[in-house]
Amino acid sequence: MKFRNFILSVVLVLISAISSWVNAQSFKEFEEDFPESLKVMYHVPVAMGDGVKLATDIYLPNKTGSYPSLLIRDMYSNGSTNTRQRYAKFATSNGYALVFQSVRGRYDSEGKWYPYFQEINDGNDTLNWIASQPWSNGKVGMFGSSYLASVQWLAAINKNPALVAIAPAVSPGNYYRDVAYPGGAFSLLSRASWGIGLVGSRTNMSFPVDWVNGINHLPIETLGESVGFKVQHFQDWIAHPSYDDYWKPLNLENRASEMNVPALNIGGWFDVFLRSTIGSYKTMTEESASETSRKGQRLIIGPWPHGWNQSTKLGDVDFGENSLINVPDMLLDWFDYWMKDTHKPTNLTAGTAPVRIFVMGENVWRDEQEWPLARTEYRPFYLNDNNTLSETPSTKNNATLQYTYDPKDPVPTLGGNIMMPKLRGPYDQKPLDDRKDIIRFTTSAFKEATEFTGPISAEIYASSSAMDTDFMAKLIVVKPDGTAFNLVDGVIRARYREGFETPKLIEPGKVYKYKIDMWATSYKLSEGDRIRVDITSSNYPRLARNLNTGAEFAKTSKMIVAKQTLHMSKKYPSKIVLPIIPK
């Protein structure tokens, strides 16, 4: 009886801790007033180390005194939008100074705009400037999403003592694998629509270009010109298709030992940068420069896309009201703990549960002690030549299935971890059912509820008639009514099967093993659900088509058709590995 009461008390504590921030609120609803004694200084020219001046706005809660500061370094706005003003209200109404800065070359800031690299030194110079101001108490925190999250990690490389805590949301960390070349295949849709279309100049742009259907121009090296632009950073991205010295400074996961800052890592199961959100948390907990930093990492992952915590519905699935969280309260909890001496630790800040995930299917939040979960059972499901997916490997000496991949008719993108709002998230895959260039493998119905939470990968044995091609795997949940929606997917470009630094073409007809990183998810199947794995060779326009010629990337418009053979025999046990969580 005493044990039952103890368990009940623990459960009630956990429920109380979670419910305190699950009540949905984002900055969209944050309408607090500025303090009456607010002092504002607009467009203060802050000089960087090379003399370039960046336009900076300062919001102070009172005219006198010194305060901890929250810094936002932005390339999407000059600070005058309602969203950015809400950030300033949030900070000043809670006793923080808010410093808003337009990054180099954007809006009213001087200098030349070029993404990412410039933010390392500019972030450090800005932190030093804030710490030296009479209204600053020397403590600075940073928050924001996407590029506003990138600048936090890039500034953190300098171990600046003024940077006390950060809260990066949906942030890249390995810019080769996440931003530009997942699995070695160019992320065409996001890099074109973002790199050329939105941020190709000093201010955001929205010219009448169809970034979904209008980017099929070849060769890709002249794509920008074909839609009216010539943007240097886009040209540089396509000029570096391998992981080389251009990308290595931007592999922040490899630079965790150069950082010394607690971080509230926020991600979404359908975010384009999910792999990096998890990767940054892992490397910082293991390799960052101090015990405070290593123990000060937190990870929160919801059922969200890149535009996180905005709606309960994503794609064709509604995850319920419980899927949205109270962001201002969560951030205030985080920064008060690290930046104000009087704040008491909570479940989030004290580290009693450093990981918090949303389990889809069951649609509940759950606290965990680590990632991946220590109790995980990694279970292989094998592909069979009768299109089944089973836990028993084939005993056949020869078992194959074939399909044809024609780059002129690629499989259209339907859901997934992408930026484009109208395509991202979980979608019923029925519109693709008639395609013959997708091979599908399905389990029998699960006899009991089954959860898989953690990293997912596929090992595919395949041969091709081409010298280079792509192989892709997509994990799908099939409901009893036939609805089949995607959870995760992944790709490997054949020439990068042995690593991303040195491409190696394949020998036509030879069988190779391809390991496909499908990132991670958390989903609880219901009794009667099935899982399906789709294998194909294109996902367009999310990923640039492999033209199958073996030619240098982006240089040619020549295409050839590839005949693909999947092998699933005793010798070649193609499989997907799922992270099963025992009851």
User: Which residues are identified as catalytic?
Assistant: 146, 271, 306
Q: What are phi and psi of 550, to 5 degrees?
A: 80, 5
Helix residue spans in 52-146 (DSSP H): 82-92, 119-131
Answer whether 388's CB lies under 8 Å from 531's CB: no
Residue 471 is encoded by which pair of tokens?
A: 């192989």
Answer whether 358's CB lies under 8 Å from 300's CB: no
Amino acid symbol at 1: M
Which class for 353: exposed (0-12), middle (13-18), buried (19 or more C-beta within 10 A)?
middle
Dist CA 553 CA 495 (whole Å): 11
Beta strands in 146-268 (DSSP E): 163-169, 263-268
Q: How long is the chain?
A: 583
How many DSSP H helices and E strands does the chain contain?
11, 23
Dist CA 452 CA 579 (whole Å): 5
Helix residue spans in 380-489 (DSSP H): none
Residue 25's nearest CA partner among 436, 330, 343 is: 330
Dist CA 462 CA 574 (whole Å): 9
Residue 35 is encoded by which pair of tokens?
A: 């303090």
Q: What one-character-per-residue DSSP string does 311-373 give?
A: -SEETTEE--GGG--BHHHHHHHHHHHHH-TTPPP-HHHH-SS-EEEEEBTTTEEEEESSSS-
If you search the block for the tokens 């995930």, which residue do you land on? 357
Query: Rounded to the nearest 10 degrees, how much is the dihedral formed by the CA atoms of 406, 410, 416, 417?
Result: 80
Helix residue spans in 64-219 (DSSP H): 82-92, 119-131, 147-156, 188-190
Dist CA 405 CA 542 (whole Å): 17
Dist CA 261 CA 161 (whole Å): 9
Residue 306's nearest CA partner among 145, 415, 188 is: 145
Residue 316 is encoded by which pair of tokens?
A: 């064709």
Q: Which is it for strands 389-390 and 377-383: parallel, antiparallel or unpaired?
A: antiparallel
Answer whether 74's CB lies under 8 Å from 101's CB: yes
Residue 534's nearest CA partner among 442, 408, 404 is: 442
Q: How many CB atoms lie within 10 A of CB 93?
A: 17
519, HSE (Cβ side, Cα atoms, 13 Å) = 28
Q: Which is it for strands 450-464 and 575-581: parallel, antiparallel or unpaired?
A: antiparallel
Q: How many CB atoms lie within 10 A of CB 578?
A: 26
Which one-letter DSSP state was computed for residue 426? -
Q: What are phi and psi of 277, to 5 degrees?
A: -60, -45
